[in-house]
Amino acid sequence: MRGRDSLLEVIMRLSRSLAVAVFAALSLVGIAAPASAEAAGKYVALGDSYASGTGAGSYGDSGGCKRSANAYAQLWANANSPSAFSFVACSGAVTSDVLNNQVSALTSDTALVTISIGGNDAGFADVMTDCNLGSDASCVSRNNEAQAFARNTLPGRLDNVYAQIDSRAPNAQVVVLGYPHIYELGGSCSVGLSETKRAAINSSADVLAQVISARAGAYGFTFLDGRTAFDGHEICASGTRWLHSLTWPIGDSYHPNVAGHRDGYYAALNRVA
C-alpha cells in the first residue's frame, strides 16, 4: 500500500475486492448474479372463444378455433417472451373439449396457465339466441335454466378440468378468467334487447362468476373477474365498448373486441401474472 494513498482510495479498493470475492463465492454455490430481465417460463393458454379471441379478428390459420393475434393470451406472450407458448384455446369449447384436446399441452415445466371455460357448458350461446328471438319471459326462463345448470352441474365439470391442470402442471401459476357482464344496465342503448332481458343475461354472468371463482379457489388458482375487468365498457356503456353487440359474422356477437382483449383481459392479466 502506497503511503500517499488516501483513506478513501483504500476503502474503494477493499470494497471492489470484497465484491469480487462475494460474486465468486455465489458462483461456486450455483447462485448467479441477477440479470436485468428473466425470460418467462412456458405458457399454455386453454379455453373457449373468450380465450381464443373470437371477435378480435386476425385468426391466421387457426380455422374454426378462431385464435386471434389480438387475444389476451397472444398479447401476453408477445410482451413476455415465454420459453414456450402453446395457444390451444378454441372457439366453442366446453369442458370436455379442454380435457380431450387441450390439457395434453400441459407439462411439468409449465409456468403459467390461463383458462376461460364454462360458459358454453351452461348454454350461453343458446341463451343469447333465445333472448334475441323470444319474449322477455322466455329469455328470463332460459337464463334461469342456465343458472341452475351452472350451480348444480358445472362445478363438477370444472373440477374435472382443474384437477387435470393441477396434476399436469403442478408448479404453474393458474389464472382463471371469468366472463364479463354483457350489458351496462340503465345505459345509453335506445334499441335492442329490453332492460329485462339485459338484466337476466347479466345475472347469468354473476352466477357463472360465483361458481367459477369458488371452484378455482378450491384449487388455489387465481380468479380474474371479467365483470371487474370490463366495468364501464359493456354494451350500452357511454364510453368505449369492449364487447360486440349483435354483429356479422354472427359468431363474433357478444364477444370481446380488440380493445376488450387489450385493455380489458390483457391489462388485468398483466397485473396478476
Band of residue 107 on the pLDDT scale cut at 50, 70, 90: very high
Our count of domains for the chain comes to: 2
Does one domain contain both 109 and 30? no
181 and 256 in one domain? yes
Q: What is the DSSP string of 5-55?
A: --HHHHHHHHHHHHHHHHHHHHHHTT-PPPPS-----EEEEEESHHHHTTT
192 and 100 together in one domain: yes
Confidence label for 39 from pLDDT (cuts 50, 70 and 90): low
Based on the fold, state whether residues 6 and 71 are members of the same structural domain. Answer: no
What pLDDT is recorded for position 56? 98
**Domain shared by 3 and 50, yes or no:** no
Residues 27 and 95 in one domain: no
Identified catalytic residue from 49, 68, 86, 91 = 49
Cell reading at 16: 471492489
- Residue 246 CB neighbours (<10 A): 13
pLDDT in tens, 234-248: 999 998 999 999 998
Q: Do 3 and 101 fall into the same domain?
A: no
Q: Which of the following is catalytic: 181, 244, 255, 261? A: 255
pLDDT digits 0-9 by tens, 70-85:
999 999 999 999 999 9
Q: 43 and 30, same structural domain?
A: no
**Residue 6 confidence (pLDDT) above 50:** no
What's the pLDDT band for 168 if we cut at 50, 70, 90? very high
Active site residue 238: no
Average pLDDT estimate for 169-191: 96
Q: Judge if 146 and 179 occupy the same domain.
A: yes
Helix (H) or strand (E) holding 110, with range, is: strand 110-116
Q: Please report which confidence band the pLDDT of residue 16 belongs to, taking 50, 70 and 90 as the band edges.
A: very low
* Sheet with 42-47, edge to edge strand ranges: 85-87, 42-47, 110-116, 173-177, 222-224
Residue 133, pLDDT > 60, answer yes
The rounded percent of the chain whose pLDDT value lies above 70 is 86
Q: What is the pLDDT of residue 32?
A: 39
**Mean predicted lDDT score pLDDT of the chain:** 89
For the entire predicted model, the pTM comes to 0.85
Q: What is the CATH number of the domain that holds 142?
A: 3.40.50.1110
Give pLDDT tens digits for 197-221. Answer: 999 999 999 999 999 999 999 999 9
The CA distance from 134 to 137, in Å, is 8
Question: Which amino acid is it at 173?
Answer: Q
146 and 265 in a single domain? The answer is yes
Question: Which pLDDT value is given to residue 245?
Answer: 96
CA atoms within 13 A of residue 50's CA, in its CB half-sphere: 24
Q: Are residues 1 and 89 in the same domain?
A: no
Looking at residue 27, what is its pLDDT? 37
Report how far residue 199's alpha carbon sits from residue 183's, in angstroms, rounded to the nearest whole number: 8
Whether residue 86 lies in the annotated active site? no
Give the model's pLDDT for residue 34: 35
User: Which residue in the block uniquely carries the three cell numbers 380465450?
Assistant: 51
**For residue 190, what pLDDT is reported?**
85
Write out the residue range of the structural domain in which residue 68 sits. 39-272
- Examine the domain organization and report whether 224 and 127 are in the same domain: yes
